[in-house]
Structure 1
């Protein structure tokens, strides 16, 4: 079977198109929480993460914080009434003011900021609107998350994240258990959603137990990309024939 130059060009364009689809831009803005107004601290009170909104309930800002690798050393500030003007710390290998636990606490894989939320006190959603969606198309959400604890309490805790996409029922990560003064390492999670509207709200809510023993869920590297279409078998065959024709043509020229 011979393919003319026009057909061969069409095949190569198709191959290029499939490759481009695999590297589509992330639809989540500031999914790594690197863009902030004032570094680490409580969202809405001390700092803000560009693109994200932290809900506020009837009495105080939600216990959502921008953290970095020093969350166990220098901590992060809160403006809630009970701890106004003081820093909160996480149990970690370095600790601060005698707060020490060799629990393996570390930052996320990108090495920068990440978000942490109390799952049992003032737990409110963080969210942003995702635009330019195609109704009926599916989108893959990926992120990494970990679980730890504040240093002002001890005891076993559990943590997980609830994920909301538009008006669809929320989905949940697995539950991570954390021993007293402990840390449960970063792991990756993936969900798939179908767009019902051209704009959908993507939201995260930390959950945990027990109340009064601060369970702390962390999240980073949030990405939402369209599901890459899989070529039909006929397309694979056409691509293969095109490559064979290209090789044969080069040999003939030699």
Structure 2
């Protein structure tokens, strides 16, 4: 009878340890620490950020930053603070309004951010929580270059990105008159210095008056494992559960051995 009860107890402990291992495995799945990295969730549809809409989970003090939906940038455009009865919505050069080429769709799809890099330049930011000090992370995003419709001349565009005391700058894109670029994938890695950090994007472009626009989409931030691949450090509570299960298992085995 004692052997039966001990065996039953041991089975329970084994089950507990198995659950702890499963929990640890679940936590190891990649987790994107950036919220609304595709800019699809807004307070009032597309338009100028801080004027007629906001992007959920992101903040911006204002500036000439916009959110466009698929197919809107060179057609219906977006409302702006200049969008009075005598002024049309802001649009970008594209195939639908006589631009040199079609505005490409990002791999992420859906909405995208467009920021003037020479006028009303303001950051768009998000506080990132859940960083682990000493853990290496990879920041990824897509970006493209474009020009505001109704203006002429070659332009340049890029992005300056900051997080946790680190600043990264994309290569400068030289954009032809009335043209736009394809979407370009950027990745930067850094080691966390704190448990949270402000993620900030700031557009830059030349020349002023030719409206150079930097586009942004698909922002993500993942922890990197020792092999350099995306991963997630298990939560401390997960490790505690796992350790408790293993200790109980060891105790049960030791007790069973003494009863023999």
Coarse TM-score class (shorter-chain normalised): 0.7 to 0.9
Aligned residue for 2:131? Answer: 133
Corresponding position of 1:73: 75
Name the counterpart of 1:207. 204
Runs of 4+ in 1 over 6 A off after TM superposition: none
* Partner residue of 1:219 out of 210, 216, 226: 216
Deviations 1:183-235, CA, capped at 9 Å, x for gaps? 1110100001221111100000000111111110001000001012239xxxx
The number of equivalent residue pairs is 207
**Distance verdict in 2 for CA 1:84–1:191, change over 3 Å:** farther
Is the alpha carbon distance of 1:230 and 1:20 closer, same or farther for their aligned partners in structure 2, counting shifts above 3 Å?
farther
Q: Which of 43, 57, 60 is the matching residue for 1:51? A: 57
Report the secondary structure of 2:174's partner residue: strand
2:33 aligned to which of 27, 38, 58: 27
Structure with bigger gyration radius: 2
Distance apart, 1:20 and its partner CA: 6.3
Distance in 2, matches of 1:126 and 1:91, equals 23
The gaps in structure 2 that reach 5 residues or longer are: 1-13, 229-260
Deviations 1:106-141 (A, max 9, x none): 221232101010001011100010001111111100
Q: Does 1:40 align with 2:46?
A: yes
After superposition, the C-alpha distances for 1:40-75 in whole angstroms (9 at most, x for unaligned) are 1100111111000012xxxxx311110122110011
Match of 1:193 among 178, 187, 190: 190
The RMSD of aligned alpha carbons is 2.2
Give the counterpart of 2:177 among 180, 184, 190: 180
Gaps of 5+ in 1: 1-5, 56-60, 232-254
Counterpart CA distance in 2 for 1:75 and 1:191 is 32
User: d(CA) in 2 for partners of 1:84 and 1:207?
Assistant: 27
* Aligned counterpart in structure 2 of residue 147 of structure 1, from 115, 122, 145: 145
How far apart, in 2, do the equivalents of 1:152 and 1:172 lie?
28
Report SS of the residue matched to 1:94.
helix
Deviation at 1:152, TM superposition (A): 2.5
Aligned equivalents of 1:195, 1:72: Cα separation in 2: 40
Of the candidates 160, 165, 174, which is equivalent to residue 158 of structure 2?
160
Q: Describe the SS at the equivalent of 2:178.
A: coil
In the TM superposition, residue 84 of structure 1 has moved relative to its aligned partner by 4.7
Inter-partner Cα distance in structure 1 for 2:34 and 2:67: 17
Preserved CA contact (<8 Å) 1:177 1:184: no
Higher RCO (C-alpha 8 Å, min separation 6): 2
Higher helix share: 2
Flag the 1:84–1:203 CA change in 2: closer, same or farther, 3 A. Answer: farther
- 3-state SS of paired residue (1:185): coil
Map of 1:116 onto structure 2: 114
SS of 2:79 mapped into structure 1? strand
- Please say if 1:228 is aligned against 2:225: yes
